Amino acid sequence: MSRGKKIHNLQIICIYVVLTLFVVCVLFPLLYAFASSFKTSGEILAGKNFWPTEWHPENYLEAWNEANFSQYTWNTLIYASATMVLSVLGNSVCGYVFARGEFPGKKIIYGMKTATMFLAFGSTTMYPTLQILSKLHLNKSLWGLILVAFCTGSMAFIFMVRAFILSLPREIDEAATIDGCSFMGIFFRITLPLIRPIIATIAVLSFKDAWNDYLFPMIVTFSNPEKRTLAVGLYSMQQTSVAADWSKMLPGTIISALPLIVVYIFLNKYFVESLAMGAVKG
């Protein structure tokens, strides 16, 4: 018995050691960049020690002010928040209508939206989308992208909202109808508060995606550097600097990643949930 227990304990210790090793490896790129972001350029180039010999927090001030990261952060915040609010609204309303609404053509519309999930055009439809946006005079700002996010929605989110609402008892809706609540009134007054967990998940994922999104934002803000987001700013900084100026780029990297890491620490339950959905988003 005691021998079995000993083996068991050994096994647990092994698991802990291996997992800790993995965690260190996974977090290493971030930790290394964080430590290096406080070094002078000379020390970064020498690349000797892990921690800086002298800490230089002014690297961050430089990135924040000179490299315009304050502006980028502000833009990103607006872009990500607007995208989040609109995709929460769009997807949850859509899910509700598909769950509770009765109207001709429901099945057809639902089927068509589902079918688009399987079209694997990837980034190749960006050009025509940009043409449409330029017709709407929205091709030079992030608002066009917010509009696209609102109007296309994500089928994975709609599935989730729909399934959740279908699991709620219909009696609540009927009681509200008798009390004189309209169809959409029921959604905003009764259903929306009930589907809060899913709303939180959608909010977290759409915020994260918008925050990290860079290909399309880069295209629309190309001629308008003032409107760039953090991800775009970071990328263009990497592309334009002649010699890699790590003492500016590393603080920039940390600035762009830190807000989401902080949000992640507090809301990681929703992040983990949302990723399962995001993977099948298509």
Partner 1 sequence: MYEKGLRGGALNSESVLQRPFKEVNDTMARQKTKVKKQKYKKSIVIQSYVALLPQIIGFFVFSIYPIYWILQYSFTDYDGYRVAHFVGWQNYIELFTQDRAFWASVGNTVILTVMKLVMELPLAFILAMLLCSKSLKARRLFNSLLFLPTVISVTAAGMLFSYLFRTYNGFINNLLMDIGIIGSPVSWLAEKWTALFVIALMSTWMTFPINMMFFCGAIAGVPDEVYESAKLDGCGSVRRIFSITLPMIAPTFKVILMLALTGTVKIINEVMVLTNGGPSGQTNVVMLYLYNIFFGYDLTSGAGEIGYASAGSIVTTVLIGILTIFYLKFTKKADELY
Report the site for partner 1 in 51-80 (rule: CB under 8 A).
none
Contact between 113 and partner 1 by CB under 8 A: the answer reads yes
Contact between 7 and partner 1 by CB under 8 A: the answer reads no
Q: Which of 208, 227, 228, 248 binds partner 1 (CB under 8 A)?
A: 208
In whole angstroms, what is the distance from residue 91 CA to residue 93 CA?
6
Contact between 217 and partner 1 by CB under 8 A: the answer reads no
Contact between 176 and partner 1 by CB under 8 A: the answer reads no
State in angstroms the smallest separation of the CB of 58 from partner 1: 20
Q: Which of 123, 171, 180, 226 binds partner 1 (CB under 8 A)?
A: 123
Q: Which of 1, 5, 124, 178 binds partner 1 (CB under 8 A)?
A: 124
Q: Which of 184, 189, 194, 225 binds partner 1 (CB under 8 A)?
A: 184
Binding residues for partner 1 restricted to 29-48, rule: CB under 8 A: 29-30, 32-33, 36, 45-48
Contact between 163 and partner 1 by CB under 8 A: the answer reads no
DSSP per-residue letters across the chain = -HHHHHHHHHHHHHHHHHHHHHHHHHHHHHHHHHHHTTS-HHHHHHT--SS-SS--THHHHHHHHTT-HHHHHHHHHHHHHHHHHHHHHHHHHHHHHHHH---TTHHHHHHHHHHHTT---GGGGHHHHHHHHHHTT-TTSTHHHHHHHHHH--HHHHHHHHHHHHHS-HHHHHHHHHTT--HHHHIIIIIHHHTHHHHHHHHHHHHHHHHH--HHHHHHTTT-GGG--HHHHHHHHHHH-SS--HHHHHHHHHHHHHHHHHHHHHHHHHHHHHHHHHHT--
Q: How far is CA 218 from the centre of its chain?
A: 16
Q: Which of 15, 163, 172, 194 binds partner 1 (CB under 8 A)?
A: 15
Contact between 168 and partner 1 by CB under 8 A: the answer reads no
Q: Which residue lies nearer to partner 1 by CB, 117 or 168?
A: 117
In whole angstroms, what is the distance from residue 222 CA to residue 146 CA?
17
Q: Which of 10, 22, 61, 241 binds partner 1 (CB under 8 A)?
A: 22
Q: Which of 10, 61, 112, 172 binds partner 1 (CB under 8 A)?
A: 112
Q: Which of 58, 215, 224, 225 binds partner 1 (CB under 8 A)?
A: 215
Q: Which of 55, 70, 74, 126 binds partner 1 (CB under 8 A)?
A: 126
Q: Which residue lies nearer to partner 1 by CB, 2 or 239?
A: 239
Contact between 127 and partner 1 by CB under 8 A: the answer reads yes
Residues that contact partner 1, how many (by CB under 8 A): 92
